[in-house]
Chain A
Amino acid sequence: MAEPRESHRWKWLLCAPALTILVLAASGPLLIVLVYSFLTPGNMGGVIWEFSTEGWFRVFFRRDIFDPADVSLNTAHLTILWRSVWLSLQTTVICAVLGFPTAWFIATRPANTRTVWLFLITIPFWTNLLIRTFAIQELIRNSGTINTLLIWAGVIDAPIQMLFSEFAILLGMAYVFLPLMVLPLYAAMDKLDFRLVEAGYDLYASRLQVLRHVILPLVKPGFIAGSILVFIPSIGAYVTPRVLGGGRTLMLGNLIDLQFGQGRNWPLGAALAITLLVIVVAALLFYLRTLNREEGPRHG
């Protein structure tokens, strides 16, 4: 009887160092950000240790510079917030649409070649993100590969403006995050019992019906995991909008960066960072709830 309790105590004791680091490293910096969001911006950056809710106020509202009593909704921030969410959702959908056939293709290869295909999926990770993003810039700039080819082929007369637009950001993010969708989808398909697919055909289901009623429900957890893996880094993306968006089409990550640099308003930056965190946590909770609903009846 004493045995399990003893080992239980040991377990905690052995975990203690890791837990301490986890708690300190995870909550410490977060706490600093939280505290800073309630301070007063300092001269040319930094903070003054005076309590203020102005940072939080400015996340959602703006005061007219010349008439502080004139308060209105901060449409600029809301636009950026909405753009971040919308672009991230679009990125997720594009990755899902492209990722599904890719993962399916890999999952249906003979077992011994699957590793090779998976290996190929990871190749982009060998090159630094920044360099890959600049390479995309090279592809879509006015004098870049795509425009030059199209003009040469006589399809267009003048270059299409692709760089420094939301399209460019979307393209960059979909490219960068696609593997994060393919891998969990593949993991889900790998476990798929193909006999069920055959059974579906045997029962005279059409291909579309098999896809809708057999395959998709079974790989749904993969879709959900992939969506989360794509959506969360997308909404906090910094490099892609910075390089491909041209500094005018901001996303949340760039807006936060702006407050700590040129904007010289650290409390606002801190408040925005926590806002981003809340969105991410909300997305995760949504994920867990959907997952529980999925698995609830099966276990119960």
Chain B
Amino acid sequence: MKRMLATSLAALIAGGSMAAADEVVNFYNWGNVTPPELIERFEAETGIRVTVTDYDSNDTALARIRQGGHGFDLVVPSNNYVETWIEEGLVIPLDRDIVTNIDNIAPEWMDVDFDPGRQYSTPYFWGTTGLIVNTSVYDGDPHTSGIIFDPPEELSGRINVVPEMSDIITMAIRYHGGQQCETDTDILRQVRDTLMDAREHWLAMDYGNIDAYVANDISAGVYWNGGAMRARLQNDDLVYGYPQEGFSVWMDNVMVLSDAQNPEGAMKFVNFLLEPENAAAISNFSRYASGVVGYEAFLEEEMRTAPEIVTPPELVGAGAFSIPCPQEVNDIYSQIWTELMQ
């Protein structure tokens, strides 16, 4: 009897410690870019369980976290949103005692304007906003945003434009020779008119899923390089275009939320993502480049030479890192955008 009591007590203690180990980190990330094996690896290493919830736009993520009561620990905003997150106190500084891998961040991604010295954020991946074209439908030059704004006849009614305000308006501004955060009224007027006219040629304004491009439900569109590469790997006809009029380079960054349930576990996860091998796992899955030093060693061969990753030398100059625009500029953009979305 005594022994039975002892065993059940032991079982209880074991059970208790197992319950303590059943720690959870809730990861709020962009859809379809979190490799499942990475999560498994983290769980195996730390015993912390990870749940992943998807979002499809910076605005969605921001709105949801602002409301509170979300239960998430980590979020991955784009560079031009990072400052908003910090200013509004939605995220906390990184705990350098836990995030010891911070030095693995590549020097060019370390002292960034949106988070100098990486106090709050670490790179998840970076990429470019360009175009995707199905060459079996249209075999002209894919490296121009004219494909979207003044589409060739073959592509009219077959275009998808991602509903990301800053991406699309900035692309249209560059199409008219302007700069990011342009305030010139003449250019903005042209931008509005171009968008309103071009819209008639668009089939959808959706987060065009990879399948739709592969199946040729959509034959061209504004897309991000990693998504374009994943589509191309399933359908050779697809090419990625770098608009010669100018295109954006961006980075999505992991941050820990102020109302995180498990900030310590979240910091451990941030640290884990900065291991070159893990950074490479994200890149191999999502097809975006990493900001972590030494990840190349673990990269799949096709990633090293992919035209979606390696910008053609003559078009490198057209790329510019995206910046957040002042509120008064955003106001005008929002108005153009709302008109467009109607």
Contacts and interface: CB of A to CB of B under 8 A. Distances in A.
B335 A65 contact: yes
A246 B163 CA distance: 11
B60 A44 contact: no
A62 B330 CA distance: 18
Contacts of A79: 342
B327 interface: yes
A143 B334 contact: no
Contacts of B205: 246-248
B284 to A, nearest CB: 27
Interface string A81-108: 0000000000000000000000000000
Interface in A173-228: none
A16 B84 CA distance: 45
A264 B341 CA distance: 12
Interface string A28-64: 0000000000000001111000000000000000100
A142 B205 CA distance: 17
Nearest to A248: B205
B62 A44 contact: yes
B165 interface: yes
A273 interface: no
Given A44-B84, A263-B334, A265-B334, A250 B342 contact: yes
Given A44-B62, A65-B332, A262-B165, A246 B204 contact: yes
Interface stretch (A17-25, A253-261, A287-295): A253-261
A262 B185 contact: no
Nearest to B189: A66
B66 A262 contact: no
A163 interface: yes
B217 A142 contact: yes
B57 interface: yes
Contact of B342 (A45, A143, A255, A260): A255
Given A79-B342, A143-B217, A161-B157, A262 B204 contact: no
Given A45-B62, A164-B203, A261-B60, A247 B163 contact: yes
Interface residues of A, number: 30
B216 interface: yes
Contacts of B157: 161
The A contact surface, by secondary structure, is loop
Given A248-B203, A248-B204, A255-B342, A262 B163 contact: yes
A142 B336 contact: no
B206 A246 contact: yes
Contacts of A164: 203-204, 206
B188 to A, nearest CB: 7
Nearest to A254: B341
Interface string B44-71: 0000000000000101101100100000
A121 to B, nearest CB: 32
Residue of B163, B204, B339 with most chain A CB atoms under a 10 A cut-off: B204
A261 B55 CA distance: 12
Contacts of A141: 212, 215, 217
Contacts of A76: 339, 342
B31 to A, nearest CB: 14
Given A247-B205, A248-B205, A142 B165 contact: no
Interface string B122-136: 000000000000000
Nearest to A62: B339
A238 to B, nearest CB: 14
B334 A247 contact: no
Interface string B317-342: 00000000001001010111111011
Nearest to B342: A76
B149 interface: no
15 contacts: A43-B330, A44-B59, A44-B84, A44-B330, A45-B63, A66-B185, A77-B342, A142-B216, A143-B215, A161-B203, A164-B206, A246-B204, A248-B204, A250-B342, A260-B63
Minimum-distance CB pairs A-B, first 9: A246-B204, A76-B342, A143-B215, A247-B205, A247-B206, A65-B335, A164-B204, A263-B338, A142-B217
Given A44-B84, A65-B332, A66-B185, 15 more contacts: A76-B339, A141-B212, A142-B217, A246-B160, A246-B203, A246-B205, A247-B204, A247-B206, A248-B204, A248-B205, A255-B342, A261-B60, A262-B59, A263-B334, A264-B334
